[in-house]
Structure 1
Amino acid sequence: MPATVDYYFATVSPWAYLGHARFVAMTRAAGATVRVKPVDYGEIFPVSGGLPLAKRAPQRQAYRLVELKRFSDFLGIPLHPQPAFFPVNGNPAAHLILATDAALGSAAALDLAGRVGTAIWAQQRNVADAEVLAALVAEAGLPASLLDAAGLEAAATRYTTLTAEARDLGVFGAPTYVIDGELFWGQDRLDFVQRRLQAG
């Protein structure tokens, strides 16, 4: 029986961006169901020992930039380690992804999530800008009505609920893939995710 994967991620995470296309491809190949779950890591870090980027030690911040370039080069995925619009508020994009999931399903939501990551890390666009989000919706061929749906209470409530769910499961970093209660943290764990999917 094909697996179900809970995909917890931050819309603004470079690591989620670097792993996104591979994750989508492997889950499709395995016939797995993906439950798209953007969450607010600003709420998770304080209870899980994590720190926002600006509060991390200088050596950790410096090494992060090295690793981003290293993975970008290795994977052949374009990425600006210090894009023009970062840090950026990813909550509006998360609400839009959730509204898309509710209206059109996970495939459309996954596609939009990938476009958000690309917008930040490859195209250096400001995803906190309503006009940028509207452009991403249009570029994806999605209905503009999703922009209104993203502003409704249902999307915000779902975001809050998923954030609490992730915290209670022990999720502490982005991206995290969960299969039958087993957590896989980080895009560099996708080989293990694939093995798990193949094992059934």
Structure 2
Amino acid sequence: MSRICEYYFAPQSPWSYLGHTRLIALAKQYDVQIDMKPIDLAKIFGVSGGLPLAKRPPQRQAYRLVEMKRWSEVLGMPMNLHPKFFPVSGDPSAKLIIAAKFAHGTDAAMDLASAVMQSLWVDEKNIGDADTLIALANAAGHDGAALFKSSETAAVQNEYDQFTNDAIAASMFGAPWYVVDGEAFWGQDRLDFVERAFQKK
């Protein structure tokens, strides 16, 4: 039985974008199953003392941009540091990803999450817009309109709320957040440690 990595993330998070494809590659390399859980980051901040970007002190905002630029260059991942549609609510896209997981499984949902995050951080798209999300789902090979309709159901909302509650129980305070064998790792810059956890017997 393969090891499981609980993966808590927010589609609007730049750090989730920077770590997403690397987590997929590591999971494949070490035969680890990803238990993906898109979460409501605003609720996480609300219970953990985090602040939305606009409310952070200027020096923190400035250093965030420095780190985003460094990581995008080191990883060779294109990234707009000031995307046209940001800040943006992650709720509609997170629920679309959950609907994809329900309908098509984790791999399909992870692929859609990749497309959603790239559309925000590279392609200047509004991931809070229904038409944009439908188009992204269509491009991923799904019936975008049907998937978006599913994303608005109570079942998906309940799952979103449960994932967020799971994240709070796992002491999450920032995205992305990985849990392997009960051990938590915060941020895409901790993926080296996540890999070490994957290697343990």
The equivalent of 1:131 in structure 2 is 131
1:70-111 deviation per Cα after TM superposition (whole angstroms, max 9, x unaligned): 101111000011100000111000111001111111000100
Determine the C-alpha separation between the residues in 2 that align with 1:189 and 1:143.
36
Opposite residue 172 of structure 2, the aligned amino acid is V
How many Å apart are 1:143 and its aligned residue?
A: 2.5
How many Å apart are 1:29 and its aligned residue?
A: 1.4
TM-score normalised by L of structure 1? 0.98
How many Å apart are 1:134 and its aligned residue?
A: 0.8
Determine the C-alpha separation between the residues in 2 that align with 1:108 and 1:162.
18
Determine the C-alpha separation between the residues in 1 that align with 2:103 and 2:34.
15
The equivalent of 1:196 in structure 2 is 197
Q: SS where residue 83 of structure 2 aligns?
A: coil
Determine the C-alpha separation between the residues in 1 that align with 2:19 and 2:170.
21
The equivalent of 1:147 in structure 2 is 148
How many Å apart are 1:28 and its aligned residue?
A: 1.2
Determine the C-alpha separation between the residues in 1 that align with 2:175 and 2:117.
13
Residue segments in structure 2 that go unaligned for 5+ positions in a row: none
The equivalent of 1:104 in structure 2 is 104
Point out 4+ residue stretches in structure 1 off by more than 6 angstroms. none
TM-score normalised by L of structure 2? 0.97
Q: RMSD of the TM alignment (CA)?
A: 0.9
Identity %: 50
Q: How many residues align?
A: 200
Task: Output aligned runs, 1:1-200, within 5 Å.
Answer: 1-144=1-144, 145-200=146-201
Residue segments in structure 1 that go unaligned for 5+ positions in a row: none
